Homo-oligomer: A and B are copies of this chain.
Amino acid sequence: MNKRAKIKDIALKAGVSPTTVSRALSGTGLVAEPTLSHIRAIAETLHYRPNISARNLRTQKTMSILVVVRDIGNPFYLDIFKGAESIAHDAGYSLLMANTEDDPKREADYFNMLSDGRADGMILMTGKMPLDCDLPHDISQKVVVALEMIDNVDLTHVVIDNEYASIEAIDHLVSLGHQKIAYIAGPIPEGMSVRRLAGFRHAMMADGLKLPEAYIQQGNFSYQSGERAADRLLDLPDPPTAIYTANDEMAFGAIRAAKKRGLSVPEDLSIFGFDDTYLAEAFVPALTTVRQPCLEIGRRAMTRLLAHLSGDNPDTDSIVVPTEIVIRETTAPPPQKTYHPSS
């Protein structure tokens, strides 16, 4: 390995002062052509790269962005990472993975990294602000909230319209002829779950359908919880002909529950998911679901954050990214006769 070229090596070779080299390479506009090009050409020949820690100390920039999630192991975040990373990389930024596991100390740690200048910005996807830590004084220009909303904070939010997405899903089931539609909700009172449930109730009311309270069951987003919730629904004396779920994994669990008691999906029971995770299409039968535009959420959140960081756009108005329903193989008209458990 050869020794790393320094500013003074370039200065020597170019016949100018180290200060001139430094000004030329940092793009201050203080060095005119043709000296500028001459210095840059020499720097390139010598494979010069700046000492980043020294530059960061001067510019107070780390060129890194924290991406804060509750559970780094959840595949749901992947396309958001991917979208955010593509924009960040093009702008010369790196993403720092920040995993809170709902631990208040970790939640505070990452905000402290921002306050300490160990990261330049943050995309926050935990749905909550941390307790007990210093918030940066210019937080509105350093933090963008994505995916999960946080009430009463003046930060840019990049989100979907969860209520409207539920309404579209129910309208589709109703258009197929379903009247007995049940819902497997996510954990209440988490914001996302509350809004999807509100949309479900709203749609059922708007369509003039009866909604027994037993038609609303709660899960925790795992497929096991979806399977158990669907078991409770299918055990009802008057079971639903369609089940809408707050995420795809609970929908997969509901399909399992149906198959275990010999019901065919969608002939005997329609299932409607939410998210369009990567296996929704590969599942047998392929899942009808609400597609969250995760790549787009990631891209929009990072684009706004970079606009904040560069001072180009200080606005904190929210960005709502449209969802769409994807009709695949798990929804169909209701069966002619209602299914009754053979118990």
In the complex, the answer to whether B75 meets A278 with C-beta atoms within 8 Å is yes
Closest approach, in angstroms, between the C-beta of A69 and any C-beta of chain B?
11
Contact of A53 among B50, B53, B282 (CB under 8 A): B53
Question: In the complex, which residue of chain B has the Cβ closest to the Cβ of A227?
Answer: B282
Look across to chain B and name the residue whose beta carbon is closest to the beta carbon of A92: B109
Whose C-beta in chain B lies nearest to the C-beta of A135? B1
- The answer to whether B278 touches A255, judged by C-beta atoms less than 8 angstroms apart, is no
Give the interface centre of A50, A75, A116, A249 by most chain B CB atoms within 10 Å. Answer: A75
Chain B positions within 8 Å of A95 at CB level: 96-97
A20 near B: Cβ within 8 Å?
A: no
B73 close to A82 (CB less than 8 A): yes
Nearest Cβ distance between residue A115 and chain B, in whole angstroms?
8
Closest to A280 in B: B279
B85 touches A74 (CB 8 A): no
- CA separation between A283 and B278, bound complex, in Å? 13
A259, B282: Cβ atoms closer than 8 Å: no
A286 to chain B, nearest CB (A): 8
**Chain B residues, Cβ within 8 Å of A283:** 252, 279, 283-284
* Cα–Cα distance between A47 and B74 once the two chains are bound (Å): 34
Chain A, interface SS category: mixed
- Asked if A117 contacts B282 (CB within 8 A), the reply is no
- 268-298 of chain A: CB within 8 A of chain B: 278-279, 281-284
CB A75 to nearest CB in B, in angstroms, measures: 4
| Closest CB in chain B relative to A212 CB, distance in Å | 28
Give the residues in chain B near A259, CB-CB below 8 Å: 284
Residue interface bits A50-68, CB-to-B below 8 A is 1, else 0: 1111101100101110010
Q: Is the CB of A82 within 8 A of B99?
A: yes
Chain A interface residues toward B at CB < 8 A: 1, 4, 47, 49-54, 56-57, 60, 62-64, 67, 71-75, 78-79, 81-82, 85, 89, 94-99, 106, 112-113, 115-118, 134-137, 223, 249, 252-253, 255-256, 259, 278-279, 281-284
Ranked nearest first, the 6 interchain pairs of A and B with the lowest CB-CB distance are: A75-B75, A223-B282, A1-B137, A73-B82, A53-B57, A95-B97
Q: List 22 A-B contacts (CB under 8 A).
A: A4-B115, A47-B134, A51-B116, A53-B53, A53-B60, A54-B57, A56-B56, A57-B57, A72-B85, A74-B78, A75-B78, A75-B278, A78-B78, A81-B97, A85-B97, A89-B99, A94-B97, A97-B97, A255-B284, A256-B284, A279-B279, A284-B284
